[in-house]
Amino acid sequence: MIKLPNTPSFRLDGKKAVVVGASSGIGLGCAVALASAGANVSLVSRRVDLLNDIVNSINQKGWKSNAHKLDVTEVSNIKNFFDTHETFDIAVFSAGIAKHSTALETQEYDYDNVMSVNTKGAYFFAQAYAEKLISKKSTGSLVFISSQMSKVGGLERAVYSGTKHALEGFQKSMATEWGAYGIRVNSICPTFIKTSLTASTFANKEHLKWIKEKIKIGRVGEVEDIMGAVVFLASDASSLITGTSIVIDGGWTSS
């Protein structure tokens, strides 16, 4: 009798997870995906009023979740959050903003705002998460929600694209430094996903035409397209994967 290999589990039963930016869009999808796979999920956002309704809906499914307020533009707030909570096995950073303009029209205020969340917030969230794990001699999986724009450029997206290129860079160094502690660091890079943040882009006929021409698979993304990937990266099924990204772009970056 041949001994067959065992398929690693995608289940997250008994795991604790935190999802930042969970009040809508991709972050909400990630929180639901992790909860449905068995994790106890802490949903985090600046808009805690929205989180309470989401938590109620998740818990009514028989899953486990709770809500917390956090502004990731303040490093002291991030550190305090991890100091006052138990260790999380899984962390997803999905907070992000965009102020689209041509590179020639970018204003300093908008530049600073986008950088403060997408780059600074992500960096120091990852740092605080890893510090807590290392202090407790625990392992974990950190997932950044990045973008296909971390691989390419785009119309009116110089600042946004720059933040995501930066994220991919420090992700690789973090994975290199923290691998010895059993901490994995990866990212998911979606194409344009139907959310409240992309509504204005899809409403622009010229931009929508450009998007559809780029996506080889013939449709724009849905939040559900991201959910399987975040469960995979959070689970034992991806235990040898770190320092890389899963690109969910319908073939945008294939050519």
Alpha carbon distance 106, 192 (integer Å): 21
> In the annotation, is 181 catalytic?
no
Q: Which listed residue (111, 129, 160, 181) is catalytic?
A: 160
Residues catalogued as catalytic: 160
